[in-house]
Amino acid sequence: MTVRTALLRILEHEDVNFLLTNRIPRRLLTRFLGWFSKIEQPLVRDLSIRLWRLFSDLDLSEARDGEFKSMHACFTRALKAGARPVDADPDVVVSPCDAIVGTHGRIAGTELLQIKGFPYRLEDLLGSSERAERHRNGHYVTLRLTASMYHRFHAPHDCRVERVIYISGDTWNVNPIALARIERLFCRNERAVIEARLAGGDALTLVPVAAILVACIRLHCLPAPLNLAYRAANVLPCAADYRKGDEMGWFEHGSTIVMLAPGAWSFADNVQPGAIIRQGQPLLRRAPAGVSGERTTAA
């Protein structure tokens, strides 16, 4: 048994994983990593990336750049042109990111699932009842980015971002172990609510949820990064137009995006709990007239 295999087996134990990733000074460690990851010193960079590889299946073969100035540059790497083909069908909403599909389905009024048996409310996730009404009885999908995945996210369809709401919070881990133990976890963590509208007028919302070691959520439509040190206005008006597949921003580590979509769409066949989906692949399809796409699945 290799050292890497032994370490991974230890971390797979639920109690150990939860203890090591949650029962620690989460916010302090997250801010520290935000500083440490940007150190542009070759020895620090190489040792950090080597350690990262030890605990994950980091694959840099699709990276646009062959070398990185820092671990941060590696985290937020761009991909080679054409690495993520985007489905051009106008009746398809694509995945905004590389991810593991989690819970998804129809929103019951304003209630959705974090994991089986753990409901939460849109009002708590989005910070207001008015925002929740935009997606009453709509659809939702939870997309979890792991530490080794591509960390940038893109427009799932042609749209205009109308405003962003920053909600400060905690930095709990968002892996399945924590989701099964911490109620309303997404509603507790730091997050950004990105309110967009599709060309046909349908409301679509992306909620990037930060987590432990996620030092920042960076959006191209805003001048300042959103992180634990952010102290400016929480409601940020915006008027940024995106074509399907355009880059919108990035996490500075792995985390989760909860996407809220209209009820007039249905999930693509490839959207199943635990499935890996790539940015640009079909996520939702416009439902034919009279069909509402009722499939609801909890991971």
Indicate if the pLDDT at residue 293 is higher than 60.
Answer: no
Q: What pLDDT score was predicted for residue 215?
A: 63
* List 37, 70, 95, 255, catalytic entry: 255
Please say if 129 is a catalytic residue. Answer: no
Amino acid at 51: L
* pLDDT, tens only, 277-288: 999 999 999 877
Residue 8 has pLDDT above 50, yes or no: no
Let me know if 154 is a catalytic residue.
yes
Active site residue 72: no
Q: Please, which pLDDT band fits residue 299 given cuts at 50, 70 and 90?
A: low
| Lookup: tokens for 73 | 């540059």
The residues near 230 (Cβ < 8 Å, ≥ 6 apart) are 166, 168, 224
Higher-pLDDT residue of 5 and 151 is: 151
Residue 145 has pLDDT above 90, yes or no: yes
- The pLDDT of residue 246 is 97
Annotated active-site residue in 154, 157, 253, 266: 154
Cα 162 to Cα 170: distance, rounded to the nearest angstrom = 26
Task: Indicate which residue of 37, 48, 98, 157 is catalytic.
Answer: 98
List pLDDT tens digits, range 25-48. 666 777 777 788 889 999 999 998
Q: What is the reported pTM?
A: 0.86
Could you say which DSSP state residue 189 is in? Answer: B
Q: What is the pLDDT of residue 108?
A: 96
Strand runs (DSSP E) across the chain, as ranges? Answer: 92-94, 99-106, 111-115, 118-121, 139-144, 152-154, 159-167, 191-198, 203-209, 217-219, 235-242, 247-251, 256-261, 265-267, 276-277, 282-286
Give the three-state DSSP class for 186: helix
